Amino acid sequence: MRRLATGFGLGVAIFVTTVLAVGAPAGLPEVFAPYQSWTKMNAVPLTDPSNPRAGPKNTFINLDAGVLRSLIGRGARTRAPFHAGTVIVRETLDVDAGFVRVLFVMERDAAQTRTRGWKFSGLSRTAANQAFQPIAIADPVARCLNCHLQMGASDLVFTPFLNRRDALPGRTPTSGDRVEIFNYLFGPQTLRVRAGTTVAFVNYDAVVHDVKAADRSFESGNLPAQGRYFQTFTRPQTVQYFCAVLLEMRGQIVVEP
């Protein structure tokens, strides 16, 4: 009986520790330890179809959803820079083990003049029960800023506030041989064309997107606002494609004989 009770106590202790560990992973600075309870910016976990080893990613921000919506409008152009104290945390899960392995962080910090007022940092761990350790980023300009600079129109932030209810109602696929990139979506998501058709991909967003075949048979390269890309589909097949800038975006072309 005593042994049983001890076992039970131990079980509870382990349970409590596990729950606590899930609630606030060890090793996180206080300012973003509770990040998982913040506003989630992405509608669905981001995955990278070209790299099955990379796990799903989620992005959280320490702003109220309403405030965030007022900052990032349709097309994700920010109306004002994010204010002091804003923190954005992107977590990446380990596919095989199912725990958060890497955190990338952007913190608004006016002292960071070389990186446009954002402090870029990262943390990682190799097991779920380990404390996070800071990742040494020797040159945040080269390693982080230079890539994020392409999002100049949205204060260097890629992830739009993808609340699907914000997507424009009644946005219907255009007919024919055209895919519109709008509000961070490819439309129509499935386009059916006859073999031999040239499809135009047109970017109506204010930010850069691209179009990349999952089998790498074509890639548009960066499509700026109003950018166009043409691709001819000669043989019957189904082509999956995605945007390598924002990996959440996907679509497919069904080429019929």
Going across the sheet that includes 178-182, the strands are 185-187, 178-182, 197-203, 228-233
The enclosing H or E element of 146 equals: helix 146-148
Choice between 88 and 185, CB closer to Cu ion:
185
Q: How far is the CB of 208 from ligand HEC (least distance, A)?
A: 10
Q: What is the C-alpha to C-alpha distance for residues 84 and 161, in angstroms, rounded to an integer?
A: 19
Q: Decide which of ligand HEC, Cu ion, none touches 209; Cβ closer than 5 to 8 Å per partner kind.
A: Cu ion
Q: How far is the CB of 186 from Cu ion (least distance, A)?
A: 9
Q: How far is the CB of 229 from Cu ion (least distance, A)?
A: 12
Vertex 143, ends 212 and 79: CA angle to 5°? Answer: 75
Q: What is the C-alpha to C-alpha distance for residues 99 and 127, in angstroms, rounded to an integer?
A: 8
Question: Counting beta carbons within 10 angstroms of the beta carbon of residue 226, is it exposed (0 to 12), middle (13 to 18) or buried (19 or more)?
Answer: exposed
- According to the binding rule CB under 5 A, does residue 211 interact with Cu ion? no
Q: How far is the CB of 88 from ligand HEC (least distance, A)?
A: 5
Contact 48, 54 (CB under 8 A): yes
Which residues lie near ligand HEC (CB under 6 A)?
A: 46, 57, 59, 88, 90, 104-106, 120-122, 137, 143-144, 147-148, 157-159, 245-246
Q: Decide which of Cu ion, ligand HEC, none touches 159; Cβ closer than 5 to 8 Å per partner kind.
A: ligand HEC
Q: How far is the CB of 113 from Cu ion (least distance, A)?
A: 29
Contacts (CB under 5 A) with Cu ion, residues 235-254: 243, 245-246, 249
Choice between 147 and 254, CB closer to ligand HEC:
147
Q: Decide which of ligand HEC, Cu ion, none touches 243; Cβ closer than 5 to 8 Å per partner kind.
A: Cu ion
Question: In Å, how far are 42, 171, 204, 221, 243 from 45, measured between CA atoms?
Answer: 7, 23, 24, 24, 15
Q: Which residues of 122-136 are buried (b: 16+ CB within 10 A; e: fewer)?
A: bbbbeeeeeebeeee
Contact 85, 54 (CB under 8 A): no
Q: How far is the CB of 21 from ligand HEC (least distance, A)?
A: 23
Span near Cu ion by CB under 5 A; candidates 20-28, 37-45, 83-91, 201-209: 201-209
Among 57, 90, 148, 209, the residue binding Cu ion under the rule CB under 5 A is 209
Q: What is the C-alpha to C-alpha distance for residues 152 and 230, in angstroms, rounded to an integer?
A: 26
Choice between 135 and 167, CB closer to ligand HEC:
135
Q: Would you call 119 helix, strand, or coil by DSSP? A: strand
Q: Decide which of ligand HEC, Cu ion, none touches 87; Cβ closer than 5 to 8 Å per partner kind.
A: none
- The contact set with Cu ion (CB under 5 A) reads 209, 243, 245-246, 249
